Amino acid sequence: MRTSPTARAARYTVRKGYLHLLTTQIHERLTERYRLLNTEIHSYPGPIAHCDLQLTHLLEERQRIMKALAEWPLGNDRDEAALGQKRFVLAFLDTPADIDDAIDCRLRTRARKTLRMPEQPLKD
């Protein structure tokens, strides 16, 4: 039995609303992670900073988060916004996962389910 155009449109609208909510939550989380990384980077002691591998790692992570935040969809066109939201979610999935953060793990799981992507196994 075929679904009616109205039912398909309703499901599409719900999916778009869910995607919008998900991207908003991801944006808030990435912004918070970016703020925390900046605080940690700025508190690094000067003499050690230039040769410290941990600082290099923090700078690289901050750069990936900045790149993901740059994908935040702007504009009023609903279809373009949906494409932008998908790009933003994909950019989020490219950032390093914080496996110690339950919020990050839940957002990544929801993002993969929303985009119908397979789950990624956790790395040791």
pLDDT given for residue 124 in this prediction: 42
19 falls within a domain: yes
- In the chain, the number of structural domains is 1
123 falls within a domain: no
- 119, 46, 115, 40: which is closest to 85 by C-alpha? 115
- pLDDT tens digits, one per residue of 57-70: 889 999 999 998 88
pLDDT given for residue 98 in this prediction: 82
72 falls within a domain: yes
Q: Which residues of the chain have pLDDT under 50?
A: 124
120 falls within a domain: no
Residue 21 sits in which domain range? Answer: 5-114
26 falls within a domain: yes
pLDDT given for residue 47 in this prediction: 66
pLDDT given for residue 121 in this prediction: 57
Rounded CA-CA distance 51/36 in Å is 21
